[in-house]
Amino acid sequence: MAAPSHGAVVVGVGRSAEDLTTVRTAAGEAAAHDRPLHLLHAFNWAASAGPAPAGGTRVDAENVLEKARQVAGDAAPDVPVSGEIVEGSPVEALLRAADAAFLVALGDGGMATCPACVPADAPAVELASRAGCPVLVGRTEVAPPGPLLVGYDGSPGSRATLRYAFDCAERRGSRLLAVRVVETERRDGDDGLLAEAVNRHAVRHPRVAASCQTVHGDPGAVLLDRSRSAQLAVVGARGDGPVRSTLGAVSQHLLYHSPAPLIVVRGLDGDAGDGS
């Protein structure tokens, strides 16, 4: 049941219960954005000792996809679902799909429940660092029915992220909380910067109940704290740094530790502006 991933929400599917939770989350995003869902199961023959497994492994892979299809159908009955089994690295398969996808999704591998871990080479980190489209990182626990949280720092990337977050909040029918964190030593005094940006988007999205907070402190710590009660956290891949293939400190911190599902926004048209 392979199908093109153009414009789809593409989710990497494995054998764990966490993967099925991520499928549910991805199906919800597909439903909210009126996109099809494409299930992608990849296995790496090179990682197996000895010769490639016989046909039973293919049957197992098909069973994994079928279970994921059932979970997606229960979570979002009206979303068209397709599936694909590929050989090789799951991350590389998702990176290829990202070239034509609306969003790619993968579970976090338990990072959020392991505070001492700093897995720089974890699949979710690698995908969020390299994909050419927004990346949804799923969590093991179901998120609370809180607001959609978005971080904002005034950079061009964060303006695109705020625009994306407003669209997500409107499609989900959720509240939006935009937070700008000014590092304590800066004290730049421009407390109206975030309010102005939020107000511009609120005019275009009148159905979104939006609030904003500008606070002083450590950006990663403040956003992590707010994310504990969020249904979804949205953050830009990084600020205005010259290297687009890496993650900024704040996005990394939330990726490693936030209990909320996280969308790392990158690869959008118009990243250099807020659309105003």
pLDDT, tens only, 82-91: 999 998 888 9
- Which pLDDT score is estimated for 234? 96
According to DSSP, the residues that pair with 263 across neighbouring strands are 136, 234
- Which pLDDT score is estimated for 72? 96
Mean pLDDT of the chain: 84
Question: Taking a C-beta distance cutoff of 8 angstroms, is the pair 238, 157 a contact?
Answer: yes
Of 139, 128, 162, 148, nearest to 232 by C-alpha is 148
pLDDT, tens only, 136-179: 999 988 788 899 999 998 888 899 999 999 999 999 999 999 99
- Which pLDDT score is estimated for 276? 41
- Which pLDDT score is estimated for 141? 81
Distance of alpha carbon 166 from the chain centroid: 15
Question: Quick one: CA dihedral 187, 190, 195, 198, positive or negative?
Answer: negative
pLDDT, tens only, 3-42: 445 699 999 998 888 889 999 999 999 999 999 999 999 8
pLDDT, tens only, 222-271: 999 999 999 999 999 874 444 445 788 899 889 999 999 999 998 775 44
- Which pLDDT score is estimated for 155? 87
- Which pLDDT score is estimated for 45? 57
Of 41, 14, 36, 25, nearest to 81 by C-alpha is 36
Q: Which of 31-45, 104-118, 119-133, 170-184 has the lowest mean pLDDT?
A: 104-118
The DSSP letter of residue 47 is G
- 2: pLDDT confidence band, cut at 50, 70 and 90? very low
First to last CA, the chain: 42
Q: How many angstroms separate the CA atoms of 20 and 272, rounded?
A: 35
Question: Taking a C-beta distance cutoff of 8 angstroms, is the pair 127, 91 a contact?
Answer: yes
Report strand pairing: 81-87 vs 37-43.
parallel
- CA 3, 34, 262, 143: dihedral to nearest 10 degrees? -110
